[in-house]
Amino acid sequence: MDGDSLTASLSLGETRPLSVLWLNQLDPLHPWAGGAERHIAEVGRRLVARGHRVTVVAERFGALPVTDSHEGLEIVRPVRRGFVHAWVLANARRLIERFDVDVVVGDLSKIVPWGRRSLGGRPLVSIVRHFNGRTVFGEVPFPTPPVLWAIERTTPWFLRRSRVVTEARGTAEVLSRLGVPPESISLVPPGVDSHVYHPDPDRRSPTPLVAYVGRLKRYKRVDLALRAFRAVLRTQPKAQLHVAGDGTDRERLIELAHKLGLGTSVRFLGSLPEAAVASLYQRSWVHVQPSAAEGWGLTALESMASGTPVVAFDSGALRESVGPLCADLLALDGDVDSLAEAILRGLGRPESSHPLVASRLAQYAASFSWEATSSGYAQVFAGAALPVPRQRRLPSPWELPLGRPIRSVDTSHRPPERIDVA
């Protein structure tokens, strides 16, 4: 088998390129697209480049056409927001036949499960990036939040017979405690494009610059970064905070910055093209990521690849994604004073140490590549037709031990034709 080609041993015993049906609430061209959609685009286009077919089914929005394409990915937007799950379930077999699907990918980035072990007669691979928990109560109007919260509580029941992919070990362990068999869970962290995101010492701002890159949503907790930055200014009065991104929380955050008296120390840049984001990382002294829920924290990886340290709260997947080099910049979860102190520690590092720190951060981030991520998914798809162990009863979270170790996908070698999940 060609090492640059993704092939799978299907249940019928034939070996040929895959046709992958990728289900997600949003597609990579959606105005609200975030890290999950970026992940779909990066992995999907690499699979397409290897000769495979990837079709994304997502909700329709605004003037976006029903059918579209993006870097080789086919995009289908059959219905508007709120109806895509029901439409997919009602038309599953038609989709399977229309696109000659071998594997269905159910992306749970927007909470609602797509199915259990299979969909339309084809094996289902479920992606669980993180659990939203109570963060949904600040994102959508009542009575939707308790409904979404209740739906998310059923996720383990949907997933216990499915092959599951997640990005962080912490999320994998939560899934295991909730009853998903550990041997059904694969760890495939995301990657970063080092050709786009890399250090450039000549671009470093002469005065302290703090960046935030990401969507402006309440669960991202950018308001805590603004409050922490007010404390930072007492010690670093020339510091600047540049906020790159857009979202439903933008107006509230602008108003909060005004109330805090931050003035021209804070700039809201809106959504930026990738080249401008890379430049912002390079110019910044630290990148702050105060989010309450991240599957991995793609912007943290991009920042480190650009040689810029990451300040985050010591919780969830961000604890893993920042790695050992930024461990001293982790703040107590939700504590504004602790976040301000962590930002000041990052800004207070000696200027002479910057080249070495930037080099080490970039080297760490380079160990995560989209090529390796794509190969990891290749392994999972290759094993998708294999039987997944079934449990007779879903145990309570406090009743189930972690059991056998979560299986990490080895992305350092070319994907085997089959993987052993026993």
Residue 161 lies in a domain: yes
- Six token digits for residue 173: 């362990």
Residue 413 lies in a domain: no
pLDDT in tens, 257-274: 999 999 999 999 999 999
Domain of 260? 201-365
More confident position, 49 or 3: 49
Q: What is the pLDDT of residue 112?
A: 57
Q: What are phi and psi of 185, to 5 degrees?
A: -105, 130
CB of 234 closer than 8 Å to CB of 267: no
| pTM of this structure | 0.80
Cβ atoms within 10 Å, residue 170: 16
Domains: count for the chain: 2
- 4 pLDDT tier (thresholds 50, 70, 90): very low
- 184 pLDDT tier (thresholds 50, 70, 90): confident
Residue 156 lies in a domain: yes
Residue 2 lies in a domain: no
Residue 415 lies in a domain: no
Same domain, 249 and 261: yes
Same domain, 177 and 297: no
Helix (H, G, I), strand (E, B) or coil at 335: coil
Same domain, 347 and 374: no
- Six token digits for residue 29: 């061209």
Same domain, 244 and 274: yes
Q: What are phi and psi of 212, to 5 degrees?
A: -125, 130
Q: What CATH number corresponds to the domain at position 25?
A: 3.40.50.2000
- 415 pLDDT tier (thresholds 50, 70, 90): very low
Average pLDDT, the chain: 83
Same domain, 224 and 343: yes
Same domain, 285 and 376: no
Same domain, 72 and 149: yes
pLDDT in tens, 44-58: 999 999 888 999 999
